[in-house]
Amino acid sequence: MIPSLELYLGSLPSISREENWKDLGIRPPKGVVEKTVNKGTDPKSLVTINFTGNKTYSKQENYNLRSLGEVLTIKLVEILREEKSGVYGVGASGSSSRIPEEAYTFRISFPCAPENVDELVMATFAEIERIKNEGISDEDIQKIRETQTRDREENLKRNRYWLGQLRGYYINSTDLDSFYEREELTKNVNSDDLQSAAKKYLKMDNYVKVVLMPEE
pLDDT of 25-44, one tens digit each? Answer: 999 999 999 999 999 989 99
Residue 135 within a domain:
yes
Higher-confidence position of 71 and 179: 71
Strands (E), the chain: 32-38, 45-54, 91-97, 103-112, 207-213
User: From edge to edge, which strands make up the β-sheet containing 45-54?
Assistant: 32-38, 207-213, 45-54, 103-112, 91-97
Which residues, in sequence order, are CB contacts of 201 under 8 Å at separation 6+? 51, 53, 55, 65, 68, 94, 104, 106
17 belongs to a structural domain = no
**Alpha-carbon gap, residue 186 to 3, rounded angstroms:** 42
**Within a domain: residue 10?**
no
| CATH for 120 | 3.30.830.10
- In the chain, how many domains are there? 1
- The pLDDT tens digits for 118-174 are 999 999 999 999 999 999 999 999 999 999 999 999 999 999 999 998 988 888 777
Residue at 1 is within a domain: no
Distance (Å, whole) CA 15 – CA 174: 27
Specify the amino acid at residue 95: S
Give yes or no for residue 216 having a pLDDT over 80: no
In this structure, are strands 91-97 and 103-112 parallel, antiparallel, or unpaired? antiparallel
For all residues of the chain together, what is the average pLDDT?
93
Q: Which domain does 144 fall in, by range?
A: 26-213
Find the farthest-apart pair of alpha carbons in the chain and give their distance in angstroms, rounded: 61
